[in-house]
Amino acid sequence: MRYLTGGESHGPCLTAIIEGLPAGLEIQASDLDRHLARRQHGFGRGGRMKIEKDRVEFLSGLRFGRTIGSPLTLQIKNRDWDNWRSLMAPEGSEPPEAVHLSRPRPGHADLAGGLKYNLEDLRLVLERSSARETAIRVAVGSVGRLLLENFGVRIYSHVAGIGPVEAAVNGTAIIGLAGMIEESPIHCADPDAGKKMVLEIEKARDEGDTLGGIIELVVTGLPPGLGSHVHWDRRLDGRLAAAIMSIQGIKGVEIGAGFKSAALRGSELHDPIVMEEGSGISRPSNRAGGLEGGITNGQPLIIRAAMKPIPTLASPLPSIDWKTGEQAAGATERSDVCAVPSAAVVAEAAAAWELASAFREKFGGDFMEEVEAACNFYMRHVKRRLRQEPGE
């Protein structure tokens, strides 16, 4: 499966085309809109989220709520476009009132993008580098998620840290708290830490600053055998890390024990393999985070990612004027103080897409019943092998 996205932050819309879905997958706009709304929530978001009410429209590939095997085209309209029609017009010429973004924000793509594409107005970098683009990636990932949900896969996330505040609840313990996490203003499984996180964000906002944090994903119900050890670009750990690292603001990704693994001895880190009466081969611990050799091993997948603080600062850092070369303060724009809760929802979608792609590679099929038959055959085989029973 593959997809492309297009769209500027203040252009008319965000668009994606997904290719490679099986026919017969049931999709309703409300299934995707639910996650789009979740992405818009979270304490610390700025004024833009009051303007937008993200909703997906299907332009191709769907008939009466079921995929037909052809490319699925998705669109999310930008409500803010109404305020940008003349400044972002695809045709015509720049209006005289246009003010260029000319003081690159340290930490943003402004300077590097302006150099690379030889742009006078650094707004043209902002328009595409903006995390606004994550709205369409959530829609795309939610299609992958729907496919996986048909096979019992479930995806959970929460905010494990904001600035210096860390949650005391982590890993699979968040599963039973999913309802509470959705109610939490900061998408955190630990209510006490959540309150402190909100206070940290308020403090940063009052000081003209921004905050990053840690997000955590847990995925259950994955069959063992997605991804492969046989070639670097088929290793699922690398693919998931790339997908999540590509989310705006993410600077680190770890799977299972991650960076802590480096300090442990092999005997302390690796998860023993034991034979249990009745259930067969099992794993009493999951420090590997559900992946060994780039292959899912049937254990819950655990991923953590670090998001840096947003680079648009109300009290800006030193920068330069792109037109005069003189020292100047970085540009200030309407922005968020903290978007970590939203990044958790985006990471769910990014992981869902990679996992759904790996699922399609493993089970193939052009229509849903064909995918189901291949998956059922394989799962019967896996259960027999885990119980060390003879073949059919």
Interface ranges with ligand EPS (CB under 6 A): 9, 46, 48, 80, 130-132, 134-135, 248, 310, 312, 334-336
Q: Give the nearer residue to ligand EPS in terms of CB position, either 201 or 375.
A: 201
Could you give the angle at the alpha carbon of 253 between the alpha carbons of 252 and 259, nearest 5°? Answer: 90
CB atoms within 10 A of CB 231: 8
Minimal distance in Å, beta carbon 312 to ligand EPS? Answer: 6
Residue 123 beta carbon to ligand EPS: minimum distance, rounded to whole angstroms = 10
- Min dist. Cβ of residue 335 to ligand EPS (A): 5
The least distance separating ligand EPS from the CB of residue 46, rounded to whole angstroms, comes to: 5
Handedness of CA 387, 390, 391, 392 (dihedral sign): negative
Contacts of 187 (CB under 8 A, 6+ apart): 41, 42, 157, 158, 159, 181, 340, 341, 344, 345
**Nearest distance from C-beta of residue 10 to ligand EPS, angstroms:** 6
184/245 Cα distance (integer angstroms):
25
In the block, tokens 């670090």 appear at 306
Nearer to ligand EPS, 34 or 260 (CB): 34
- In terms of CB distance, is 119 or 374 closer to ligand EPS? 119
DSSP of 201-251, one letter per residue? Answer: HHHHHHTT----EEEEEEEESPPTT-B-SSSGGG-HHHHHHHHHHTSTTEE
Q: How far is the CB of 52 from ligand EPS (least distance, A)?
A: 6
CA distance 148 to 355: 8
List, in order, residues 6 or more apart from 392 with CB less than 8 Å away. Answer: 380, 384
Q: Among residues 114 and 300, whose Cβ is nearest to ligand EPS?
A: 114
Q: Are 18 and 143 in contact (CB under 8 A)?
A: yes
CB of 131 to ligand EPS, least distance (A): 4
Closer residue to ligand EPS, CB minimum distance, 48 or 196 = 48
Question: Which of residues 6 and 46 has its CB atom nearest to ligand EPS in the complex?
Answer: 46
Residue 100's CB is within 10 A of a number of other CB atoms, namely: 15
CB closer to ligand EPS out of 299 and 342: 342
Given a contact cutoff of 8 angstroms between Cβ atoms, the answer to whether 334 and 46 are in contact is: yes
Residue matched to tokens 């095997």: 69
Q: CB 110 → ligand EPS: shortest distance, Å?
A: 10
Nearest distance from C-beta of residue 217 to ligand EPS, angstroms: 19
Distance CA 384, CA 392 (A): 9
Closer CB to ligand EPS, 48 or 235, in the complex: 48
Q: How far is CA 297 from CA 176, 227, 237, 291, 363, in A?
A: 22, 10, 12, 6, 16
Distance separating alpha carbons of residues 240 and 246, to the nearest angstrom: 10
Q: Is the dihedral of CA 32, 37, 41, 46 positive or negative?
A: positive
Nearer to ligand EPS, 129 or 261 (CB): 129
